[in-house]
Amino acid sequence: MRSKLTIPLCAALLLSACAVFIPRRVGPPSEVSVEITPERVALGMKLAEGIMACGACHTTGAFEGDPRSDMYLAGDVVFSKMEGKIAVPNITPDKETGIGDWTDGELIRAITKGVNRDNRLLVPLMPWADFGAALTREEVEALVAYLRTGPAPVRHMPEETDLTTFASLIMSTGMVYNMFAKEPFFSDYEPRLGTPVERGERLAYLGMCVDCHAYFPKFPGAPKFGAPLAGGSVIAVPGRPDVICSNLTPDMETGIGGFSDEELYDAIKYGKRLRPLPETDMVRWPMMARITHHTTLTDEEIADLIAYFRAQPAVEHDIVQKERERAEKK
Ligand code: HEC
Ligand code: HEC
């Protein structure tokens, strides 16, 4: 007779095999050595402090909406019902608690392929799949040059990650890889940058617009690549009012279709709402936290983002109504 333990045991063996397998598939860090030049540092700074907003997660206090300027990129901890406790690491050049001791290849592998120095797969809250798909080689190296020289080293060790059983299971089975890391992710991909729509799409990955604003009709966390940008994800953080991500598809009634380029410019650059609420005409947290990083976007980049959103399939999805219904139910 088969023991009741067989199935869990097989599952456990399979899981641990996968957990080893994924970093293998990604391969060892490269031996590259990034030369630090003023041009590289400037480009890295524009990306990291701008559209990619590393500090929106890695700065202590960022998730409470109160980033500490003396703890820039020094790490934090964030709680979520589904995933549990997630430590956001210190990525300042401090040698003991930050990335000061990492090689350039290790940094590049973590940022673009989601495997850290201990060969562990990083949870996808760290948007490595977006970064890996959307960054050029030169930009990755610029980020490394910036991380080495820009931020002040800060000695700070955030609390340790403690994932829920559900989240650990998803992580260890490699499902995360299959969901997020699509080809041509594993090849040395250079993003297409020929047309405004292509350039805008690439910025929408670097800025994670595609993560928050994606519409998951059935199952949150379902494959997001290619999901329409029709919004609807609820951002619920203890101590803050729930907000729902807006519909950015060109639907005339419920999306961005009825608004001019000027109105969209003011929304993306300054956070001015397309549909003012009785209490405010500005977007709320966490969109506002992203907007503070949009000041480094050029007018052309904003025009590219608008072109990309306008080129998406229109989906009717009334977020304002949805939020009202939610508030009434509470
Ligand atoms: C949306 C939040 C978010 C953003 C934006 C973000 N990160 Fe992360 N990052 C994380 C989280 C969370 C982890 C830890 C994941 C884990 O431990 O599984 C992480 C891990 C890392 C690591 C691995 C460090 C270690 O000690 O294991 C590096 C390197 C890193 N991030 C660099 C960056 C850089 C550079 C940027 C900006 C270009 C950036 N991150 C933007 C959330 C973010
Ligand atoms: C961390 C999640 C998150 C990310 C990343 C994000 N957004 Fe948002 N966005 C939101 C939320 C939530 C709202 C709704 C805010 C509100 O209702 O106050 C919003 C609102 C907006 C609005 C206003 C829509 C309206 O109807 O007024 C625009 C425009 C927008 N986002 C564009 C972008 C762009 C462009 C990017 C990428 C460069 C981006 N967002 C990245 C969460 C996000």
Which atom of ligand 2 is found nearest the CA of 309? Answer: 35
Give yes or no for residue 267 CB within 6 A of ligand 2: yes
Q: Which residues line ligand 1 (CB under 6 A)?
A: 48, 52-54, 56-58, 86-89, 91, 99, 107, 110-111, 116, 122-123, 125-127, 143, 147, 161
Instruction: Note the pLDDT of residue 178.
Output: 64
Instruction: Tell me the torsion sign for CA atoms 222, 227, 229, 232.
Output: negative
Instruction: Note the pLDDT of residue 63.
Output: 83
Instruction: Answer whether 328's CB lies under 8 Å from 242's CB.
Output: no
Instruction: Note the pLDDT of residue 181.
Output: 60
CA of 75 to the centre of ligand 1 (A): 9
Instruction: Answer whether 143's CB lies under 8 Å from 53's CB.
Output: no
Note if the bond before 241 is cis, omega within 30 degrees.
Answer: no
Instruction: Answer whether 185's CB lies under 8 Å from 112's CB.
Output: no
Query: Where do we find the tokens 């500090």?
Result: 55
Q: What tokens does 292 get?
A: 């503070």
Rounded to whole angstroms, the Cα distance separating 148 from 98 reads: 11
pLDDT tens string 4-49? 444 444 444 444 444 555 666 788 899 999 999 999 999 999 999 9
- Burial of residue 6 (CB within 10 Å: 0-12, 13-18, 19+) is exposed
Give yes or no for residue 209 CB within 6 A of ligand 2: yes
Rounded to whole angstroms, the Cα distance separating 59 from 79 reads: 15
Measured at the CA of 45, the angle between CA 42 and CA 49, to 5 degrees, comes to: 155
Instruction: Note the pLDDT of residue 217.
Output: 59
Side-chain half-sphere CA neighbours of 71 within 13 A: 21
Q: Which residues contact 134 (CB under 8 A, 6 or more apart)?
A: 191, 202, 203, 205, 206
Instruction: Note the pLDDT of residue 248.
Output: 97
Instruction: Note the pLDDT of residue 303.
Output: 98
Instruction: Note the pLDDT of residue 24.
Output: 64
Instruction: Answer whether 242's CB lies under 8 Å from 235's CB.
Output: yes
CA of 327 to the centre of ligand 1 (A): 33
CA of 20 to the centre of ligand 2 (A): 37
Give yes or no for residue 228 CB within 6 A of ligand 2: no
Q: What residue owns the CA closest to ligand 2's atom 12?
A: 245
Q: What residue owns the CA closest to ligand 1's atom 34?
A: 54
Rounded to whole angstroms, the Cα distance separating 325 from 234 reads: 13
Residues of the chain below pLDDT 70: 1-24, 174-189, 217-227, 238
Residue of 206, 208, 245, 249 to mutate, ligand 2, most atoms within 8 A of C-beta: 245
Instruction: Note the pLDDT of residue 321.
Output: 92
Side-chain half-sphere CA neighbours of 9 within 13 A: 5
